[in-house]
Structure 1
């Protein structure tokens, strides 16, 4: 009961506060921009001959659009209506793909981004920590120095630069992978082996661009932690007692070095997500990043807010789950 009060409940409260503040910011920021989605729609209609419509019809259309985009009334009234619609899962229609509901667009795009993110996060975390732990423990080996040099070279590269380099190299110069899309045109989505392999082939370059940068970060941080732990007294004592190096590495050094890395995993999820948005745009990958880019270009309030809300909830939930699972890895938390 004490663990529940001192650890679980405070983190749940923090979780809901983060979501509340994040969604409030998402509501306010678009309203501070000079772009008006209703005016944008009317301007487009004017360009297609709507100026010949009856002025009363245009005014009625304007009122309807303001209602659809939640722009009727003052900011407080809009804010209360926004939360009311949010609890119902109603973000309104999309301007970019009118009149398709925003929630339908998100549900179609979310599996692509979620699949890409989960794969990238797990692979980069596992590979980077294993290589970083080995390089930190065997720091005097030549291969460890070479890996360190490669990590320091790759890590500062921005996500979109890495994506462009891979796109030019492996889709244009050496056409081994497709340049754009989530699967080949004309292929019907199914659970068949052909479709799954096709999806994996299209997702390879977007995932690789994120994994390479992620591995660089995890490698450098894990190597730094391991190099510090190696000189601790309990590790030196274990070496003097003749305990095998492999056991010291995995059970004494890397096991303790992984504790802060688990916490960092939750903090890095947000950064990976933002990087995936840029990467999806570069590869025209059918995820939330591509949809967000289209929504920003078209001033689509509803779609922007819908994607941002799902992003906030997803990142906060992932961080909460890692935080709640942390006592399983660190017994000291349970004993406090």
Structure 2
């Protein structure tokens, strides 16, 4: 009972409060933008040479406002938004009208989920192993070499590294495709040939994310390990004659991993926001590209759908790691 009242309940209250605040901000912010999706849609029809009399334009405006949830006062729109949200309905997309937003998200989400899930986990594992060893054996030559490489790659923006890989391995040395997630005109079926095509298209985006990610985790883990290495219990373990490998594995790395686990939970939640710039550079059909199109076209519904999904998954991942953290750190108790 103490667990529910003192530990679980406060976190659940915070969880739902953060979701409410985040989704409320997503609702209001697009409505303060200078773009009007309804007017843009009508202007596009007119620019294409479609003749519409004023009465038809007025009727279409009212219909589109209702579809986009822009009808009525701001408060009425807010109430209607929550009613639709609880049903999982974000309305139709603007730039792919009349396709529902939820359908576009379902189409793009698997691409981003697999790409970023694999790259995040791999970069986390590799970066923490290298960073842990580098932090403990900081005077080794290979550590200095890795530090020099990290100082070059770590500050590099994603899009610079992505463009560099694209130019080198798709243009100069045409090993991988220039962009896309699958071969044009082909329908995906589960076979080894199609799997290889998928991996070939995903390799460059994955490589750009892994290279940056590895050195981010490497530097963070190295600093934590260097701090843990100077703790008294590590010095006592050395004085007690405990084998150095055991000290590194059981005492240093294990304790240094605790903040990294929290960082992993946050990274996993952010996966579903998409790797915006990376997906655009490689024309990868994921959530990042979808979000870019939503911002560029002023698509309220699509923007709210993608952002809401990201908020839900980030807050949920934080809640889960908060509840599971005592399993990783015995010093934390459910109290």
Q: TM-score range by the shorter chain?
A: over 0.9
Structure 1 residues 243 and 228: CA distance shift in structure 2, 3 A: same
Q: Which residue of the partner structure matches residue 26 of structure 1? A: 26
State whether structure 2 residue 80 is matched by structure 1 residue 81.
Answer: yes
Name which of structure 1's ranges 130-139 and 241-250 shifts more when overlaid on structure 2. 241-250
Give the distance between the partners of 1:273 and 1:167, measured in 2 at CA: 24
Q: Which residue of the partner structure matches residue 290 of structure 1? A: 289
Question: Secondary structure, in 3 states, of the residue corresponding to 1:334?
Answer: coil
State whether structure 2 residue 29 is matched by structure 1 residue 43.
Answer: no
Give the distance between the partners of 2:317 and 2:202, measured in 1 at CA: 22
| Equivalences for residues 152-231 of structure 1 within 5 A | 152-231=151-230
Name which of structure 1's ranges 166-175 and 68-77 shifts more when overlaid on structure 2. 166-175
Structure 1 residues 113 and 291: CA distance shift in structure 2, 3 A: same
Q: Which residue of the partner structure matches residue 96 of structure 1? A: 95
Structure 1 residues 335 and 245: CA distance shift in structure 2, 3 A: farther
Name which of structure 1's ranges 248-257 and 161-170 shifts more when overlaid on structure 2. 161-170
Q: Which residue of the partner structure matches residue 53 of structure 2? A: 54
Q: Which residue of the partner structure matches residue 13 of structure 1? A: 13
Q: Which residue of the partner structure matches residue 67 of structure 1? A: 66
Q: Which runs of 5+ in 2 are unaligned?
A: none
Q: Which residue of the partner structure matches residue 303 of structure 2? A: 304
Normalization by structure 2: what TM-score? 0.95
Give the distance between the partners of 1:268 and 1:188, measured in 2 at CA: 32
Question: Secondary structure, in 3 states, of the residue corresponding to 2:275?
Answer: helix
Structure 1 residues 38 and 155: CA distance shift in structure 2, 3 A: same
Question: Secondary structure, in 3 states, of the residue corresponding to 1:286?
Answer: coil
Question: Secondary structure, in 3 states, of the residue corresponding to 2:61?
Answer: helix
Residues 189-210 of structure 1, C-alpha deviation per residue, up to 9 Å, x if partnerless?
Answer: 1222222221122111111111
Shift of 1:122: 0.8
Q: What RMSD, in angstroms, separates the aligned Cα atoms of the two structures? A: 1.6
Give the distance between the partners of 1:266 and 1:165, measured in 2 at CA: 30
Give the distance between the partners of 1:9 and 1:246, measured in 2 at CA: 42
Give the distance between the partners of 1:152 and 1:272, measured in 2 at CA: 25
Give the distance between the partners of 2:60 and 2:114, measured in 1 at CA: 40
Give the distance between the partners of 2:188 and 2:148, measured in 1 at CA: 42
Is this contact kept in 2: 1:210–1:272, CA < 8 A?
no
Give the distance between the partners of 1:256 and 1:21, measured in 2 at CA: 34
Residues 102-143 of structure 1, C-alpha deviation per residue, up to 9 Å, x if partnerless?
Answer: 110100101111112211221111111100000011111100
Aligned residues: 335
Is this contact kept in 2: 1:160–1:279, CA < 8 A?
yes
Q: Which runs of 5+ in 1 are unaligned?
A: none
Give the distance between the partners of 1:121 and 1:103, measured in 2 at CA: 25
Give the distance between the partners of 1:5 and 1:205, measured in 2 at CA: 49
Give the distance between the partners of 1:200 and 1:318, measured in 2 at CA: 27
Is this contact kept in 2: 1:36–1:299, CA < 8 A?
yes
Give the distance between the partners of 2:266 and 2:253, measured in 1 at CA: 20
Question: Secondary structure, in 3 states, of the residue corresponding to 1:278?
Answer: helix
Shift of 1:2: 2.1
Shift of 1:335: 6.2
Question: Secondary structure, in 3 states, of the residue corresponding to 2:177?
Answer: coil
